[in-house]
Amino acid sequence: MEIKASMAGNVWKITVQQGEAVEEGQDVVILESMKMEIPIASEEKGVLKEWKVQEGDFVNEGDTIAIVE
């Protein structure tokens, strides 16, 4: 499953490392834009297989941030 950005902004914090297990609904990354922080959660339980971004990167709405399997 792909985790996508729900808004355009900067990747502020990555809270789960590659290879770690994630629960459904667990925040994996926090985006920051226009003085607002938006946590993005994984929609499924699984393992964080790959990060497509790094902290500090800019993402557009809909961009893939990470892949959970």
Partner 1 sequence: MIKKVLIANRGEIARRIIRTCKQLGIQTVAVYSDADQNALFKKDADEAYHIGPSQVQQSYLQLDSIIEVAKQTNADAIHPGYGFLSESPAFAERCREENIIFIGPEADILRLMGSKIEARKAMIEAGVPVIPGTDRAVGSAEEALRFAEKIGYPVMLKASAGGGGIGMEIAHSADGLKKAFENNSKRAASFFGDGAMFLEKHIQNSRHIEVQILADQHNHTIYLFERECSIQRRNQKVLEEAPSPSISEQLREQLGRTAVIAAEAIHYSNAGTIEFLVDESGKFYFLEMNTRIQVEHPVTEEITGVDIVKEQINIANNQVLSFKQEEIAIKGHAIEVRIYAEDPIRFFPSPGKITALELPEGKDVRNECAVTSGDTVTPFYDPMIAKLIVYGENRSEAIDKLEEALRQFNIEGIKTNILMLQEIITYEAFLKGNTQTSFLSKYYQPNSGGK
| Smallest distance, partner 1 to C-beta of residue 12, A | 10
- Assign residue 49 a region (left: φ > 0; alpha: ψ between -120 and 50; beta: otherwise): alpha
Binding characters for partner 1, 16-55, by CB under 8 A (x = yes): ----------------xxxxx-x-----------------
CA-CA-CA-CA torsion for 51, 2, 16, 39, nearest 10 degrees? 120
Token code pair at residue 8: 């355009």
CB of 49 to partner 1, least distance (A): 26
Using CB under 8 A as the criterion, which residues of the chain lie in contact with partner 1 when the complex forms?
A: 6-10, 32-36, 38, 58, 60-61
